[in-house]
Structure 1
């Protein structure tokens, strides 16, 4: 779909909590359509991220939902994940994902300036966006090791692979941004 409409990507606020259900539904539908693994999200978690100021959302100028992403701190803020990136089908291919990715990365750097920022994905487009922001592929040993982190993967179709590999790798590529290296 071509569009001349301007897409606004901004910090999600309390007025956006009603979008939690369509966001979660689109995440699941997108994963099924691509045949890739993605951890299912609970709408309550999405609402919580919005209310905590840890999410960004995209809309057209006339209020049509276009996309979403959120952050999650781990290990007392030593790490922060950029998670749940989703773009509504009508807005794919229009660089909405790249705009959301830049905004969620900025939010991560603002809220957790010394944290290592990571993203786990099976998608080449996300890997390319991450690379442009300074992320590098890493092994799973370089990610947070707290058990709660891996709980989020349980609903993914690839979870049995992760368990069989003793949480050392899976079909997802782990990518990490290390702020001190970016300053060097």
Structure 2
């Protein structure tokens, strides 16, 4: 089985039939991990599909293979890609990474100025996030929207979060900031331009040195030739 056997697309109203299966798998997966994250209702997931704020992966035989949805906080200033789940029948083929990449692109399309963030304890998710350009940050850099933090109440580590005044917990906070990325891109372009300019200057100097060398060599040849003939003449006269 390869990733080419799957269709990974923004979810549409026609996909709401998968909502209950997806919610059941989310619940079972959370229970198996012992995270205790709040159970999402099929109606909630279906609404995300209808709004076009989700990505679904489908196997070529029509079975759902994976899912993730978009949540917004702070009036759209912050975006989170939540509820990532892969059908157990289709794991180990790279679906999680492909789904995360597609929902990241969808988030950028819908909310180009928003900061995209996530909280996770999963090393695999951290690795995918890092590859997408997310960077580890402190909790203070995340949304302070109370509705977001209410979602942590059913987590087994919620007491730890409260005891640390929401400044730290077991999850690693990761953030993709469009302002930072734009600045980094400009700096990269500037560095490339400066490197190109330095290379051009070096090339010009090398070209000039070659021309000078050629002229010196030509003058030297003329000098040698002229003096060689004079030397021959002196020898003959002697």
TM bin, normalised by shorter chain, reads over 0.9
Q: Which has the larger radius of gyration?
A: 2
Q: Match for residue 55 of structure 1?
A: 54
Aligned residue number for residue 88 of structure 1: 87
Structure with higher strand content: 1
* Deviation for aligned residue 1:38: 3.1
Match of 1:31 in 2: 30
Match in the other structure for 1:117:
116
The aligned length equals: 183
| 3-state SS of paired residue (2:84) | strand
Gaps of 5+ in 1: none
In 1: Cα distance, 2:135 partner to 2:157 partner: 22
Aligned-residue CA RMSD (Å):
1.5
Matched with 1:103 is 102
CA contact 1:36–1:122 (8 Å) conserved in 2: no
Superposed CA deviations along residues 82-128 of structure 1, whole A, max 9, x for unmatched, are 11110011111110001100000001100000110001111100000
Which residue of structure 2 aligns with residue 71 of structure 1?
70
C-alpha distance after superposition, 1:127-165 (max 9, x if no partner): 000000000111111111021111111222222222222
Are 1:40 and 1:155, in contact at CA under 8 Å, matched by a contact in 2? no
Partner of 1:137: 136
Larger helix proportion, structure 1 or 2?
Answer: 2
Distance (Å, rounded) in 2 between the aligned partners of 1:107 and 1:81: 12
Higher relative contact order at CA 8 Å, sep ≥6: structure 1 or structure 2? 1
Normalised to the residue count of structure 2, the TM-score between the two structures is 0.73
Report the 3-state secondary structure (helix = DSSP H, G, I; strand = E; otherwise coil) of the residue aligned with 2:75: helix
More displaced, 85-94 or 147-156?
Answer: 147-156
Unaligned runs of 5+ in 2: 185-238
Q: Give per-residue Cα distances to partners, 1:26-50, cap 9 Å, x unaligned.
A: 1111122223343322222211111
